Amino acid sequence: MGAGHLGASMRVLEPIERISEVLFGLIMALTFTGSMSVAGVGRLEVRTMLVGAIGCNLAWALIDAIMYLMGCLADRAADQRTIAKVHQAATPEEARAAIADRLPSLVASVLTPADLDRVHSTLSKVTTAKTRAGLKREDWLGAAAVFVLVFGSTMPIIVPFLLVQDARTALRISNSIAIAIMLIAGYAFGHLVEYRPWWTAGSMVLLGCLLVALTIALGG
């Protein structure tokens, strides 16, 4: 999750986080549907698979949301430790080191001692009460967003099983939808991290195809 609440205004979820959560939920659901053999399968077996897939992603969505909240608490506790170190620093060098340790390495590497001293001057006026390790409204919103994204990623894959009577046809449609979403999500992820969007999209599709191949190997 996003690091660094210290003096930063965070969105509920960063775009990369949103894509990662969608891919996570998608792969979880696809792995579950891929475990079903459709050779002679009946509606009871399909219903059992649907209940299992929904229940599995529901549980993981809840766990992932809780982990998000834990990450928020850990970030805020790190902010408190940084403020405390700055206040307790005996020399300007110690204060600079405490601030630089909390910053991304690239950012810290380009800041001069004068830059860090200006940050020190500002942080020395901040009390730990302002960064207390509690959950805020945006943290709960972020956790809710994580839950919705992970669990919601299940729906496009299981809808064909609800609308199409033939299990084999429903599975093929479900797999196609999953691969299409992986292509879009993989491209978006590659574009955001500026690393070969189509190569990243292809890698996501390859992963989807491997999961589909497992389905076929199991008799799907």
Residue 157: CA count within 13 A, CB half-sphere? 31
Are 178 and 208 in contact, with CB atoms under 8 Å apart?
yes
DSSP 12: S
pTM for the model stands at 0.73
pLDDT of residue 53: 80
Higher pLDDT, 180 or 41: 180
Mean pLDDT of 10-26: 74
Q: Is the pLDDT of residue 121 over 70?
A: yes
pLDDT single digits (tens) 60-71 = 889 989 998 998
pLDDT of residue 6: 41
Q: Is the pLDDT of residue 105 over 70?
A: yes
Q: Is the pLDDT of residue 3 over 50?
A: no
Q: CA torsion, points 50, 51, 56, 58, in degrees to nearest 10?
A: 100
Kindly state the percentage of the chain with pLDDT values over 70. Answer: 83
128 — pLDDT class (breaks 50, 70, 90) = low
Which residues in 33-47 are b (16+ Cβ under 10 Å) and which e?
bbebbbeebeeeebe
Mean pLDDT of 16-29: 78
> What are the residue boundaries of the structural domains of the chain, listed by start?
15-217
